[in-house]
Amino acid sequence: MKYSKATNYALHSMVHLAMESTSGAVRVEDLAKRQKISPTYLSKILTKLAKAGLIASTPGVKGGYRLLRSPEECTFLDIIQAIEGYESLLNCTMSHDGKWNRHCLIERAVADAEDKLKDELAHKTIADILNQRQEKN
C-alpha cells in the first residue's frame, strides 16, 4: 500500500505546526521551504487539512496556519483521510450472473486488513512523533 506524496507532506506539515504551536501561525512559505516543495502545492494540501478541521488559516501579513486540535488529538488516520479520502483500497469487480457480488471474499479480506491498519493509525498521533523526537535528542 502506498500513500501519495501529498499525505507525506501533510503529516510533516502537521508535525512542524505542532512544533511551532507556541509561536503562533506559521507561513506556508516557511512550511514549504522546510519540505523543499512549492508553496502553491503545499497550499492545496493545507486547504484539505483546513476543510477537515485539523488546522486553521489566518490571512494577512502575520497570518499563516496553526493547529486547531492539540497534538494528542491529531491522529495519523484523520490526516491521511483528509488527503486521501475514505475510499477502500479494493472494490470487488467480479459479477455473477450479471449481478455484483456483495459478499466478495477478497474484498472482505482486504477490508479486514484495512480496519486493522485504520485502528493502528487512529492511535498514532502527532504528539507521539514529538515525543519520539525529544527522546532522540
Among the listed residues 2, 50, 17, 4, the one whose alpha carbon sits nearest the alpha carbon of residue 126: 17
- What is the DSSP secondary-structure string of 45-106? HHHHHHHTTSEEEE-STT-EEEESS-GGG-BHHHHHHHHH-S--S-----EETTEE-TT-HH
The architecture in CATH of the region 5-85+125-136 reads Orthogonal Bundle (1.10)
pLDDT at 83: 97
pTM of the predicted model over 0.85: yes
> Other C-beta atoms within 10 Å of 128: how many?
15
Q: Provide the residue-wise pLDDT of the chain in tens; the chain has 137 residues.
A: 678 999 999 999 999 999 987 778 999 999 999 999 999 999 999 999 999 999 999 888 878 999 999 999 999 999 999 999 988 878 777 765 555 556 778 888 888 999 999 999 999 999 999 999 877 76
What nine digits make up the cell of 95? 459479477
Amino acid identity, position 100 = W
pLDDT at 134: 79
